Structure 1
């Protein structure tokens, strides 16, 4: 969760920084309306968290797409990518409402049916001339760097009390999926902040890292006792 928040905040800051002084000049009524809409959504979410904890289920299902669409529209008006506004809109939802949603089922549906469409569409935007041996070598070097960084980070974090320390260590070191990286690279590429060469290298890095995660986990993970369920891998 902390990683995702840092990613989306960083993407928003990068896009504002790329626009320079023009980011705050020449605003129209739409930009101010977008800011007001985000403030109103935050206020509404805060009020619902205190005074409307258990609404009917249909109210939650109606509110979620409205929040997502409103956040996406607001971020688009501010010159940011629509996904950034949708992410922050989800963060503004009352936690008690979100806990009543079938998050696992929705996530599985999105991962199986929606994610391949997005990632395939992003992959088709790679310039064939940029996908050269230097970009592939750069991707392999980045894979090595990401693995080393993961090893260093996992060695500094203690496993939760009562957990299998060996399995925790393997999970921390092998779960190096980079699906969110494709999202970030696509956003920066669409905004013209990432070169064709860098975009191709990052997409190849994401594909290699994500593909290696499952086999490495199965290869290095200790045997699972019969009385314990198998751990699930999340991208």
Structure 2
């Protein structure tokens, strides 16, 4: 996503730089160096240190990417990726994920949905979304069915993997939101992608139940 944003801006991204852009790059490098050092020499700090470091890393990464003309989420992803793995393993990832999914994700999705231009949500965009859904489902399932990711999978297991692969609601909405905020996709394309994300995610559960291997019961 970052490379696409830089490529879209072209050589204009290198002109008009101020001290803030240089500071942003230095900050990202500093975060990476600090994470690498902590992975080697400070593997088991007190829990309080980890909880303090997490928001600092995320906020610093977001600010740095924003100063470089990239979306804030790009910097947050980068900051999370360079945190010491031994620190991250001590965090209650499942509890944090559940809290984020229930309380934070709906606000993000709602905010993204409100950015849809009502004039762009027309029958052509809905038809385009439905066509993309059909193409996505067929290609993902067919590819996994023809070339299973692991040997020994039954037909139903291969179909189940293909169905799960086409569930891309979260990351598609994130990517579409980033591109839309940067002006890289039109209002029509943004509306179509958002509808595609919702439909493909909603269909995943019923489709998986339809093709999932039947559990065998003992006689």
TM-score, with structure 2 as normaliser: 0.92
- Quick one: which of 177, 188, 200 aligns to 2:179? 188
Aligned to 1:169: 158
Superposition deviation, residue 68 in structure 1? 0.1
What runs of 5+ residues in structure 2 fail to find an aligned partner?
none
1:102 match: 92
2:172 and 2:197 in contact (8 A); partners too: yes
- Asked whether the 8 Å contact 2:44–2:87 carries over to 1, the reply is yes
The aligned counterpart of 1:216 is 207
Q: 1:171 to 1:60 in 2, by over 3 A?
A: farther
Give the whole-Å Cα distance in 1 for the aligned partners of 2:196 and 2:8: 24
Alignment RMSD (CA, Å): 1.8
Q: Would you say how many aligned residue pairs link Structure 1 and Structure 2?
A: 215
1:29 aligned residue (19, 22, 42): 19
Distance, in Å, in 2 between the alignment partners of 1:67 and 1:226 is 50
Superposed, 1:38-117 pairs within 5 Å as 38-117=28-107
State the 1:160 CA deviation. Answer: 7.3
SS in 2 for 1:131: coil
How far did 1:166 drift?
A: 5.5
TM-score (norm 1): 0.86
- Alignment partner of 1:133 is 2:123: yes
- Name the SS of the counterpart of 2:119 in structure 1: coil
- Whether 1:146 and 2:120 are equivalent positions in the alignment is no
